[in-house]
Structure 1
Amino acid sequence: MATETPLKEFIPELDYEKEMKRWTHLFKALNDPEPWVGHSPRNEVWQKNKSILWYYPAKQKKYKIPLFFVYSLFNKPYILDIAPKTSVIEGLTNMGYEVYLLDWGSPGYEDKKIGLDTYIEKYLTTAVKRALRHSGADEITLVGYCLGGTIASIYASIAEEPIKNLIVATVPIDFQPFMGPDKWAVGMREGDMNIDHFIDVYGVVPPQLVDGMFRAIGAPVYFTNYTMLLSRAHDQRYVDKWRRMNKWTLDQVPFAGEAYKQLANDLFKENKLIKGELMIGNKKADLTNIKANLFVVSGSKDNLILEEQSKPIMELVSSVDKTYIVVETGHVGLALSGLFAKIVDQWVSSRSN
């Protein structure tokens, strides 16, 4: 129901029904209990410290080779299973894949000495072995998202386990390009901004600092979430999606201090991965060691990871079968929309038996 105004040439008509929906949905979005996430059926296979290996059974198993997801250390992985019908994990299990997910958990102060090498050698390697044993498969498909893709690539370069396929999405490999403020990059690379002392004091990077870092990198877009909610609050489907996304965005986890030091110094400052100089324990993480079938996905609207950060892996690996695609979506939208499941299936289905 719209009402005409005396100055309708200058003031748009007001749709009272739409406005009632807008403000009702807005009030509920800001005051209702948090939405339910992580709805797909799963079983715990293995646990080490705070990390858990989850198994998501296929609805009707169609493929022999299971998918093993490695997510970022910065965020919680339920973005991959955030809502019915758009869940990446639900989509893949419905398509006939067995799915494993390593949830790193939330490190406490007592975990301050856990580094990337420990995460890879003691956690990820063991978890992959458990997944292979649990599934009875001879090989596995490794799927890494964001920093999880970096970790998956590092692991694949030193792994003795049989990795048939490596899939990485929105992945930083070359850390020279940078989306954040230029002064941050210059300060860290020239030694003017040294985080080692800060981490030595705190032990772990607090989640509030992680949240602030992403807000600074994503500004001004990052600050428009409530503006977007207000403008589209009349749409209940959008509000439901917004609430899940907002919950995940604010649900940051601490970052183990030693791992953050390695990330900042070895990867961001020294760019050792792309140079072939990164050491994981006593092994050199040389990407040329990777011979698995490779699939790389970038987002054309990604405001965190640039395409030029991901694409160099294509030239570095020794894989014969390798594919690179760019999808018209953002960093999180690839997972949030469920699109990633369809893209993975299109590529990996012919490589999973």
Structure 2
Amino acid sequence: MAPEKNPSFDFEKETNRWKNIVNVLMEPEPKIGQTPRNEVWKKNKSVLWHYPAKQKKYEIPLFFVYSLFNKSYILDIAPKTSVIEGLTNLGYEVYLLDWGIPGYEDKKIGLDTYIEKYLRTAVKRAIRHSGADEITLIGYCLGGTIASIYAAIAEEPIKNLVVATVPIDFQPFIGPDKWAEGLRNGDVNIDQFIDVYGNVPPQFVAGMFRAMGSPIYFTHYTTLLHRADDSTYVEKWRRMNKWTLDQVPFAGEAFRQLAKDLFIGNKLVKGELWIGNKRADLKNIKANLYVISGSRDNLVLEEQSKPIMDLVSSEDKTYTVVESGHVGLALSGLLSKIVNQWAASRSNPL
């Protein structure tokens, strides 16, 4: 008698699974950042990029501020799911400040320098380049924190402020409890760490984010193996994997300020944060405000983002929670649709 076939074994599915895994290991890395752009301004490692609208429909341009922890190409990760491509297709002129990769020589760059010398100048250039009278500032993750701090001291005409998955209140802590205790009790010597390394090494940054996902962590290849029969998923995985492993150093002085003034001191919420000789009081923000949180965000909690709603002076302010994780909001391109729904009526339609 012939042996019985295992009804649960799908030969075609398993063939596709292993074929895709081999392709992942053998093929070149996927191309990212394919939306047409041009360089407007550069300072040190940082570049201001302009992404022209496919057909301009709005007078007020969008200006993206991304985190200092990761590379900003997550906002332009792939055709059809790119946040930036989506917004240019919808008729917006888009600008992105790419912070670049700090070298050892940049270890003295602090948050105040990034905000006053880099971000402020880039916003001025974007306004001049676009010919607009005002601008919409969009901050993602720590980029949202930086955008909020800048908006609190800005003299430039910011009409709209959009912040997504943004930590504002740093009292809630994502990650091992001992980290929070060590930082806030002074058991972790930030000064000594920065003095030794200069910049925070990218391996440390990667390990920090992995620890924040504890106690559950599975290697990214385990996830791939489970769903490798799905070619669409595999293509997304390849791009996400490239971005996840493409960590950058964090300028030492900026990390020192971040740790002491925000992680430990929580000075932004308290109204005690100083940038240069200016106090970054969120009450100074009068721009229209849109705050976006992800219901499945395991890096930035709602209670970290929502306090900004009560701290600003904006009359027009909206808070929304979407069904998404921290990175999925950008990786899926969902952010472009959400931003458009809110910003369209606030961007001076032509």
TM-score range, shorter chain: over 0.9
- 1:202 aligns to 2:177 (yes or no): no
Name which of structure 1's ranges 126-135 and 187-196 shifts more when overlaid on structure 2.
187-196
Counterpart of 1:97, as a letter, is Y
> CA separation in 1, counterparts of 2:186 and 2:129?
46
- The answer as to 2:130 corresponding to 1:123 is no
Superposed, which structure 2 residues align to 1:9-28 within 5 Å?
A: 13-28=8-23
Q: Distance in 2 between matches of 1:106 and 1:184?
A: 26
Counterparts in 2 of 1:222 and 1:61: CA distance versus 1, 3 Å: farther
**What is the distance in 1 between the residues matched to 2:183 and 2:53?**
45
One-letter amino acid of the counterpart of residue 187, structure 2: D
**Are residues 199 and 74 of structure 1, via their aligned partners in 2, closer, same or farther at CA, if it must alter by over 3 Å?**
same
Residue 224 of structure 2 corresponds to residue 229 of structure 1: yes
Say which SS state the counterpart of residue 295 (structure 1) adopts: strand
**Selected match of 1:87 from 64, 79, 82:** 82
1:100 is matched with 95
Does 2:188 match 1:176? no
Report the equivalent of 1:242. Answer: 237
Q: Please say which of residues 237-246 and 28-37 is displaced more in the overlay.
A: 28-37
Partners of 1:202 and 1:63 lie apart in 2 by 46
Letter in 1 for 2:310: E
Q: What SS does the corresponding residue of 2:260 show, helix, strand or coil?
A: helix
Alpha-carbon separation, structure 2, partners of 1:59 and 1:334? 23
> Are the equivalent residues in 1 in contact too, given 2:62–2:92 (CA < 8 A)?
yes
CA distance in 2, matches of 1:168, 1:255: 21
Task: State the Cα deviation string for residues 89-142 of structure 1 (Å, max 9, x = none).
Answer: 000000000000000000000000000000000000000000000000000000
1:66 corresponds in structure 2 to: 61
CA distance in 2, matches of 1:319, 1:341: 23
The within-5 A match list for 1:247-326 is 247-326=242-321
1:113-192 to structure 2, matched below 5 A, reads 113-192=108-187
Partner of 1:342: 337
Residues 70 and 7 (structure 1), Cα distance of their counterparts in 2 relative to 1, 3 Å cut: same
**1:247 and 1:58, CA in 2 relative to 1: closer, same or farther beyond 3 A?**
same
Two-structure CA RMSD over aligned residues (Å): 1.1
1:216 maps to 211
Q: CA, structure 1 residues 177+270, in 2 after alignment: closer, same or farther (shift >3 Å)?
A: same
Secondary structure at the aligned position of 2:291 is classed as strand
Which residue identity does 1:72 align to in structure 2?
A: S
Task: Report SS of the residue matched to 2:148.
Answer: helix
| Shift of residue 218, structure 1, vs aligned partner | 1.4
TM-score normalised per structure 1: 0.97
* Partners of 1:215 and 1:223 within 8 A in 2: no
Q: Is the 8 A contact 2:176 2:214 kept in 1?
A: no
* C-alpha distance in 2 between matches for 1:115 and 1:306: 26
Aligned length: 347
| Deviation of the 1:220 alpha carbon | 4.8
Matches of 1:5 and 1:13, distance apart in 2: 15
Mapped pair 1:50 → 2:61: no
- Give the superposition deviation at 1:222: 4.5
Identity of aligned pairs, percent?
78
Is 2:87–2:336's contact at 8 Å kept on the other side of the alignment? yes
Alpha-carbon offset, residue 215 of structure 1: 0.8
- CA separation of 1:139 and 1:29: change in aligned 2, threshold 3 A: same
**For residue 33 of structure 1, what is the aligned residue in structure 2?**
28
SS of 2:218's equivalent in the other structure is: helix
2: CA distance between counterparts of 1:106 and 1:7? 55
Structure 2 Cα separation of the partners of residues 228 and 295 of structure 1: 34
Contact 2:175/2:214 (8 A) holds in 1: no
Higher mean C-alpha displacement, 191-200 vs 55-64? 191-200
Structure 2 unaligned blocks of 5 or more: none
Structure 1: segments with no counterpart, 5+ residues: none
Q: Which region of structure 1 is more displaced relative to structure 2, 24-33 or 126-135?
A: 24-33
Find the residue that maps to 1:176 and give its secondary structure: coil
Deviations 1:135-189 (A, max 9, x none): 0000000000000000000000000000000000000000000110001001100
Letter in 2 for 1:107: P
Q: Look up the equivalent residue of 1:302 and give its one-letter code.
A: D
Q: Distance in 1 between matches of 2:326 and 2:25?
A: 25
Deviation (angstroms), 1:17: 1.1
Distance in 1 (alpha carbons) for counterparts of 2:40 and 2:210: 35
Q: Match of 1:298, as an amino acid? A: S
Spell out, residue by residue over 1:48-75, the C-alpha distance to the aligned partner (whole angstroms, 9 max, x if none). 0000000000000000000000000000
